[in-house]
Amino acid sequence: MNKKISSWRSQVTAFQRKVYEALLKIPRGKVVTYGELARRVGRPGGAQAVGQALKQNRWAPRIPCHRVVAARGLGGYSGPGGPAAKRRLLRKEGYIK
């Protein structure tokens, strides 16, 4: 991991750390829903909390929050470029044709 993002763990809350570490396990070209990610980090029903943690992700797309989608569509993206960038990243990874 490059030095620019290597210290992110010390700059986030314990919950954000769990969420971001789970994000790093999502393979390229795959997505999970906010609700599924919440379950993976031990917070069933915590989809909104996950969304708030992702909103604070300053290391996007290196910490790939673009791989988290809403249950009924792509959802938002607060990384550089907004939702259009999320679509572009998912297209580049082969999730969107």
pLDDT, one tens digit per residue, over 22-35 is 999 999 999 999 99
Q: Is residue 4 part of a domain?
A: no
CA 36/CA 68 separation, integer angstroms: 9
pLDDT the model gives residue 7: 86
Instruction: Let me know: does 67 contact 32? Beta carbons within 8 Å.
Output: yes
Q: Is residue 23 a part of any domain in this protein?
A: yes
Share of the chain above pLDDT 90, in %: 81
Give how far Cα 51 sits from Cα of 19, 38, 92, 93, Å.
10, 9, 23, 21
Mean pLDDT of 5-19: 90
CA–CA distance, 63 with 21 (Å, rounded to integer): 8
Q: What is the pLDDT of residue 3?
A: 53
Question: How does residue 13 score in pLDDT terms, banded at 50, 70 and 90?
Answer: very high
DSSP assigned state of 79: S
- Give the span between the Cα atoms of 33 and 56, in whole angstroms: 17
- Selected catalytic residue, list 12, 23, 37, 65: 65
pTM for the whole structure: 0.89
> What is the predicted pLDDT for the residue at 4?
58
Confidence grade of residue 97 (pLDDT, cut at 50, 70, 90): confident
Distances (CA, A) of 55 to 45, 76, 96: 18, 9, 22
Q: Report the CATH number at residue 73.
A: 1.10.10.10
In a domain, 6, yes or no: no
Q: Is residue 84 part of a domain?
A: yes
Instruction: Determine the structural domain holding residue 82 and report its residue range.
Output: 12-92
State residue 78's pLDDT score.
Answer: 86
Tell me if residue 10 is catalytic. no
